[in-house]
Amino acid sequence: MSINTSLQAVEELLLSVARSSVPLLSETSQHILSAGGKRLRPRLVLLAHAAAGGQNTAEVVPLAVAVEIIHTATLVHDDINDHGTLRRGRATVNSRWGSTFALLTGDYMFTKTYEIMAPYSAELNLILARAAIELVEGETLQIQAARAGALDRETYYQIISKKTAALFVACAELGATIAGAPGEWIAALRDYAFNLGLAFQIIDDVLDLSGDSQALGKNAGIDLAQGRGIAAVRDDGADARSVAAVQVTPDTAPGPLKESLLSGQSPQVAIEIGRAKAHELVGRALASLEALPPSDARDELQALAQQVVTRDH
Ligand code: FPP
Ligand code: MG
């Protein structure tokens, strides 16, 4: 079965998961799940599985669904935290139904993954559970750092490793493990996914500064206004190729801060340094793939890595 056919099976299962006996939960879950999205994480599960020689589509598709459901649940919760109003080109669940029902929608989707994962081994359940824990830790560290107005480069990397790269790693590990891949291939795919995840989040932060809300389908410019993201990393001058670029102080009001940053050179510096760093990380991701035997799936993983740094939404 081709990756696109498997992705179609993922879509069908995703929508069936969104069906609840409580109509409000069906409505809110379907609202966000049927809005599309890049489906990058399910793709990663499926491609890692195929690149590792796996052929059991029926077994891998629910794993791809589980990661997308967790990812979507975190976005619903993230939009409450970030006061986001636009997601995947639609009104956010919090802006349409309010924070309480958005919180419950995220809870509903998150707990649905227990059901999906129940038939799988403890090893696979642990891979996903540990990534979910890291997502919560990453989001917590980020809010804490933004409130303190002190985001150093190390903390920035710790945050993006946890809030983004951890789930990418879990995707690769789930796909490769269910394929019965040897340890060396699983390790190579984990490395690939980790670097890809970091690059993805850096570009996400760059696009928050340089992209527009309509193309992104979500609110642009809110990282800066909330003292986080790539432009909030304190420049300690230690490494010219680091993501660090702009000094944000807690006593600077968000409105004027945004204005001064956007009109000056600093965000441009953050954007350029961020892009360079993302390219470097993608280079590392591509190098890890060399440990795998050549295949169509490996080619697609290479293409996916390039898309992550060239994307504009
Ligand atoms: C998006 O970041 C947010 C995340 C990648 C993680 C959010 C995690 C939580 C809210 C913890 C809740 C967890 C569970 C398991 C329900 P962003 O704000 O930089 O991205 P954006 O620009 O897409 O909003
Ligand atoms: Mg957000």
Domains of the chain in sequence order: 3-310 (1.10.600.10)
Identify which of 78-82, 129-133, 246-250, 272-276 has the greatest average pLDDT. 129-133
Q: List ligand 1's pocket residues with C-beta within 6 A.
A: 70, 73-74, 77-78, 81-82, 84, 106, 110, 132, 135-136, 139, 163-164, 204, 208, 218
Q: Identify the pLDDT of residue 213.
A: 85
What distance in Å separates the CA atoms of residue 160 and residue 230, rounded to the nearest whole number? 10
SS3 labels along 108-140 = HHHHHHHHHHCCCCHHHHHHHHHHHHHHHHHHH
Q: Relative to the CA of 82, which ligand 1 atom is closest?
A: 18
Q: Identify the pLDDT of residue 101.
A: 98
**155: exposed, middle or buried (Cβ count in 10 Å: 0-12, 13-18, 19+):** middle
Model confidence pLDDT, tens digit, residues 24-52: 999 999 999 999 888 999 999 999 999 99
pTM higher than the cut 0.75: yes
DSSP state of 217: T
Give, using CA atoms, the residue closest to atom 2 of ligand 1: 78
Q: Identify the pLDDT of residue 234.
A: 62
CA of 84 to the centre of ligand 2 (A): 7
CB 198 within 8 A of CB 157: yes
Of the candidates 166, 88, 161, the residue with the CA atom closest to the CA atom of residue 128:
166
Q: Relative to the CA of 167, which ligand 1 atom is closest?
A: 5
CA of 79 to the centre of ligand 2 (A): 6
Which bound ligand lies closest to the C-alpha atom of 74?
A: 1
What distance in Å separates the CA atoms of residue 40 and residue 92, rounded to the nearest whole number? 20
**Choice from 75, 92, 202 to test ligand 1 binding pocket (greatest atom count within 8 A of CB):** 75
Q: Relative to the CA of 79, which ligand 1 atom is closest?
A: 24
